[in-house]
Amino acid sequence: MVSNHGHSAKVLLTLLVGDREIGLSRVGPGEVGLRECCDPIPPGDGAIVVNIDGVEHRRNVFFPNGIGTDGERVVYF
């Protein structure tokens, strides 16, 4: 007999830039998607935070084109 105890993880995606927190809709290799538009932010450093079921994973990144200048797509290194 097979028992299925499914689990739906709670995932929160956030972009930290200075003292700002910006919600993300997706995180991919080399780019993230903003959940909603924000005021433009010049090129600089920040961090992508992925929180899965309360466990936080943080990656420091650089945004060469800034944030909010070409819609929801944000490129990072």
In a domain, 7, yes or no: no
By residue range, what is the domain housing residue 56?
Answer: 16-75
In a domain, 6, yes or no: no
In a domain, 35, yes or no: yes
pLDDT, tens digit, 9 for 90 and up, residues 44-55: 999 999 999 999
Q: How many domains does the chain have?
A: 1
> Where residue 73 falls among pLDDT bands split at 50, 70, 90?
confident
In a domain, 28, yes or no: yes
pTM flag (> 0.85)? no
In a domain, 56, yes or no: yes
> What pLDDT is attached to residue 12?
96
In a domain, 49, yes or no: yes
**CB 17, CB 44: distance < 8 Å:** yes
Task: Judge whether residue 43 has pLDDT over 90.
Answer: yes
**Per-residue b or e along 25-64, where b marks 16 or more CB atoms closer than 10 Å to that residue's CB:** eebeeeebebeeebeebeeeebebbeeeeeeeeeeebebe
In a domain, 64, yes or no: yes
> Where residue 4 falls among pLDDT bands split at 50, 70, 90?
low
Q: Burial of 22 by CB count in 10 Å (0-12 exposed, 13-18 middle, 19+ buried)?
A: buried
In a domain, 26, yes or no: yes
Share of the chain above pLDDT 70, in %: 91
CB atoms within 10 A of CB 8: 6
**What is the rounded distance in angstroms from the CA atom of residue 27 to the CA atom of residue 34?**
9
Least confident of 1-5, 6-10, 22-26, 47-51: 1-5
